Amino acid sequence: MNYNTTLLEDWIENFYINLGIFHPHQIDLHSIAYRLGYSVTYRNISSRFYETEIIIDERISPQEQWQEFAHELCHAERHAGNQLVMPKSFLELQEFQANLFAYHFCVPTFMLLRLQLPENTKQAIYFISNTFFVTLEFAEYRLNLYWNRINSSTLVAEKNYKEMI
């Protein structure tokens, strides 16, 4: 299979490897937060990051809490600035980036590439959901990101091959 990783996927792979995390069963939000010097607090408010604290909404499912953790971790590790006073377009950019980050962080490409996914789409979604502890909707979207990347890499390879002939 031909898969060209993005800079984000490479960053996430290096991040996990630096933490000594190589397999899905090793992923634990509390362990990750602790190793990075963040505290995790569960409250009856929407998830957010503040200084060294990642606040997670206690009203959502554990899978959604993991997904929210990844979103907030992106803000902590990759963003700067106070979202309360930044221009709307910059805030929207950061939120888009944090959402994309969460998909790749919760279901890392380097781990996904090593797995034998079921050929049936529904089974593949369930497999990803169970393996990486994410919701079915999240798993479905992540699987589509993965397949789109594979298909675009294949199309580029085919185009390059045809141009060489």
CA quadruple 89, 95, 98, 104: dihedral sign = negative
Instruction: Report pTM.
Output: 0.87
Residue 33 CB-half CA count within 13 A: 21
pLDDT at residue 91 greater than cutoff 90: no
Pick 76 or 115 by higher pLDDT. 115
pLDDT of 17 over the 70 cut:
yes
- Cα 14 to Cα 109: distance, rounded to the nearest angstrom: 11
- Chain-centroid distance of CA 116 in Å reads 19
Interval 101-126 mean pLDDT: 97
Please say whether the beta carbons of 58 and 44 come within 8 A: yes
Q: pLDDT value at position 23?
A: 97
Mean pLDDT of 111-117: 96
The one-character DSSP state at 6 is P
Residue type, 110: F
Residue 161 has a pLDDT of 46
